[in-house]
Every structure is written in C-alpha cells, then in structure tokens.
Amino acid sequence: MDRLNRHGRRRTHHHRAWLLAGIGIGVAIVALLAFEAWRQHLRAEATQAFVAQTTGVLHDTLALQATAAAMEAHHRGYLLTGDPALRAERESAWREALRESDSLRRKLAGDRAQIARVDDVRDALRARHALMIETSRQAALGEADLVRRSFQVRGADAYARVRAELGAVRSAAAQRRQQRVASAQRSAERFVDLLVFGTAAALVLVLVMTWELARLLRRNDRIRAALEEDVRKRRAVENEVRALNEKLTSNAEALESSNRELEAFSYTISHDLRAPLRHIDGYAKMLREDAGPALSDDMRRYVEVISDGARRMGTLIDDLLAFSRLGRKPIERTHVDMTALARQALYEAGGANSNARVRIDPLPPADADPALLRQAWVNLLSNALKYSAPRGADARVEIEGETDGDRVRYTVRDNGVGFDMRYADKLFGVFQRLHANDEFEGTGVGLAIVQRIVARHGGRVTANATLGEGAVFTMEFPAHALEGAAA
C-alpha cells in the first residue's frame, strides 16, 4: 500500500505539474494579449492625436492663407478708395495673420523643416506689410495712381510665395498623416492576427487541460479508494496501539507504585542501617576510650578499622540515597550567581583546611537549581582538593567559566595525581574508582552524582587528565531554561 501511495503521489505530482504548466501558459497568453491590446490602444490614441494635430495644421495653413489674401484685398481697396475703414481692416488682418502663424508654429513644434517654411511665410508677410505701410503713406500725399501701380509691380509675386510655402506645409502634413494612418492600420492588422492565433492557442490549451484534469480526477478517485482501505487498516492498527498504550500506562502506574515502595524501602533500610552503624562506631569509640591502655597495638588497629568502616558505610549510604533521589526531585530553576555558589561549595568542600592555592575567576551566571549545582560543585571541588593534596603547598585548584552562545561552561582544574585516560569512560559510573581506597578515601558515587545533576540541566560533564600532572573537569549546560523543557 505504501508503494501504491508513493506511486500515486508521483503520478499526481506529475499531472499537477502539467496542469500548473498549462495554467501558466494560458495566463501568459492572456497577459500577452492584454499587453498587446493596451499597446494597440496607446498607438490608436497617439495616431488619433497626431491626425487631429495634422488636421489642425491643415486648417491653420488655409486660415493663414485666407487672412493673407484678405490683408492683400483690404490694402488694394484702400489704395483705390482711400477708405480708412479698409486700412483698419488690413491692420486687423495683419495681426490675425501673426496670431495664426504663431499657432501654426506651436502645432509644428519639433518639425524644423515645417517651422522654417512658416518662418518664410512670416517674413514674406512682414515684408508685404511694410510695403503696404509705405504705399499707404505715399497715397496719403496724393499719389494714389502712382502708388497703386508701384504696389502691383513690387509685390506681384509676394502673395504667390505665401501660397507656395503654405501649400508645401499642407502637402508635408498631409503626407505624414497618410503615413501615420497607414502604419496604424498595419499595426491593427498585426494585432488582429495575434488575437486570432492567441485565442486559438488558448482554446486548444483549455481542451488539453480539461482532458488532463478529467484523467487526474479519475486517478484521484482510484487513489482515494485505496487510501480509504489503507485508513481502515490503519485504524485497526491504531486500536492495537491504543490497547498497547493502555497496557503501557498500567505498567507505568505499577512502576510508579513500585518506585514509591522502593523509596519507602530505601528510607527504611537507610534508617535501619544507620542505627547499627552508629552503634558500631559508638561502641568502638567507647572501647577505645575505656580500654585503650589495655589494648594491644593490633587490637587498637582493629578498633580503628571498625570505626573507619562504619563511617565509610554511613557515607556510602548517604551518597546512594542522594544519587537515587536525584532522578525524582524536580528541578527548581532560578538565576544563580555561580561565583558565589562556587565559593560556598569550596567552603563546604573543606577549602579552608586545605593547603592548595585556589583561584576562582568570575563565573557567568545561569538559570539552574542552586541546591543541585551546589552539590555538583562540592563533589568536584572535594575531588580536586583531595587528589591535589599530595602536592602539599604546591597544590593548585583553578575554577574558570565562560559563555559559548546560549550555553555556559565551567571548569575545575587541579595539578593533582590525575588518572589514565584509558579508564575515563568508567569515571562517572556508580562505585567506579580509579584509585585504591587506602590511597584516597571515597565511595565512588560523587562523580556519578555530578553527571546526573548536569544531565538533568540539559548538559554534560567531561574529564581530561594526564597521569601524575592533574585533571580537568568541565560542566556545560544551557545558560537559560529551555521552553517546555522537562524538569
């Protein structure tokens, strides 16, 4: 079934990829058509504006030509009749010709050749108007017949020049309008072709996608039926798992009850064992004090062995109880001044009574259980003081700390007897000792307690040493409590 599911997922993914590709191509076609439609719209607007401008140019050239003709006619009429009203009409036509030529120049902005023609027309009209002013003054002196003949001779082709230049302007404008309209028609034809082919491609794509989608739906129906069968089987498995979980819960409750009984038993045993041990130690002490002079050297040694064994057994019982309780006691984290805690632990470990020179560097604080960490510090410092004692006044113990990202690292370094690194893996086990008891006292539980305390803080403890030169123990754990971390 899993193989069928994987095969079905691969096929479904394949078909989905084809569908997505088809949709992407369809969207691209529609986007292309929309983009071309927008461009065609802009071209049409630009063509329409150009045609309107060109039509305005044609209109203005005709209007300017008519105004020039009116100015010519009014002046000739004035020379024939001397009527001042005709002279005023001529001046009005002159001003209108200037306005119309200015308007024509603005509409032809950017076309230097056309503007040059309009400037030629203005120059011709300006020269013609100057001649009209001169002949008007001469006519006012009583020489009307002579002035009329002079005006006709001197300006016979001036108006023809104006008509020719304005005709050239109209011809060029009309030609450009025709070219622009033809270009717009060709662009529209290309857009129609693109629209036809794009629509046809989109229709073909829709048909292909519809067929592919139908295939995908049929395949999904088959896969769904197979998945329903798989779900039915999985539910049966879940029922079995649920039954196993219930059994596991029952076993866990039984184990918890057993742990409570074991804890009560441990307390009872420790209490019952301590009393006889105290009695043994007490009677041995009484025997040593009351019958000391009567005892032989061997007997006194036997009494010392009895007292020492009782004390070591009591210490061992305390260490075992502390070790067993570590797994049950919840961690109560708080912000710990690790420098102060290390100094307190050094005092409890007997640092004041040691010949070793102890240096405690400023240690980074951390979120931890101060009671548990104090016990870890006491155990590590007790070991460091104990195993460096043979150095006498040269014994050194150094305590350092550093922050590494979101973790803190604390190091206890001594120059004591060290140990062989081949046996380092046994160091943190219960009852594991690398030195004989007559060399160094101990129960073999202290480092196991340190390892469990650091592990419960989410960290680890490591050791490195050189035989005869000293040892380095390092505790490393998160500086802050992790969200949702178990206590």
Last residue of a domain, one of 217, 233, 261: 217
Residue range of the domain that includes 96: 2-217
Q: Say if 194 falls within a structural domain.
A: yes
Q: pLDDT at position 15, please?
A: 61
Please, are residues 67 and 139 in contact by the beta-carbon 8 Å criterion? Answer: no
Asked whether residue 14 falls in the same domain as residue 158, the answer is yes
CATH code of 392's domain: 3.30.565.10
Asked whether residue 203 falls in the same domain as residue 338, the answer is no
Q: Say if 283 falls within a structural domain.
A: no
Q: Say if 258 falls within a structural domain.
A: no
- Nearest Cα neighbor of 40 from 166, 158, 230, 185 is 185
Q: pLDDT at position 356, please?
A: 83
With residue 464 as reference, give the H or E element that holds it: strand 460-466
Q: pLDDT at position 133, please?
A: 82
Last residue of a domain, one of 167, 188, 217: 217
Q: Say if 433 falls within a structural domain.
A: yes
Asked whether residue 185 falls in the same domain as residue 42, the answer is yes
Q: pLDDT at position 402, please?
A: 93
Q: pLDDT at position 361, please?
A: 92
DSSP three-state, residue 457: coil
Asked whether residue 23 falls in the same domain as residue 156, the answer is yes
Please count the other Cβ atoms lying within 10 Å of the Cβ belonging to residue 465: 22
| Total number of domains constituting the chain | 2
Mean pLDDT per block of 10 residues along the chain (487 residues) reads 54 66 76 77 75 78 83 81 86 89 83 83 83 78 60 60 78 80 80 78 81 78 82 85 82 64 58 63 67 69 64 57 58 89 88 83 91 88 83 86 92 84 68 50 68 88 85 90 49
pTM above 0.75, yes or no: no
Please, are residues 413 and 397 in contact by the beta-carbon 8 Å criterion? Answer: yes
Q: Say if 134 falls within a structural domain.
A: yes
Q: Say if 279 falls within a structural domain.
A: no
Last residue of a domain, one of 217, 236, 263: 217
Whole-angstrom distance, CA of residue 245 vs CA of residue 275: 44
Q: pLDDT at position 248, please?
A: 83
- Nearest Cα neighbor of 213 from 26, 30, 23 is 23
Asked whether residue 12 falls in the same domain as residue 145, the answer is yes
Whole-angstrom distance, CA of residue 104 vs CA of residue 93: 16
Asked whether residue 194 falls in the same domain as residue 338, the answer is no
What value does the CA radius of gyration of the chain take, rounded to a whole number of Å? 57
- Nearest Cα neighbor of 117 from 105, 107, 100 is 105
Q: Say if 314 falls within a structural domain.
A: no
Q: Say if 94 falls within a structural domain.
A: yes
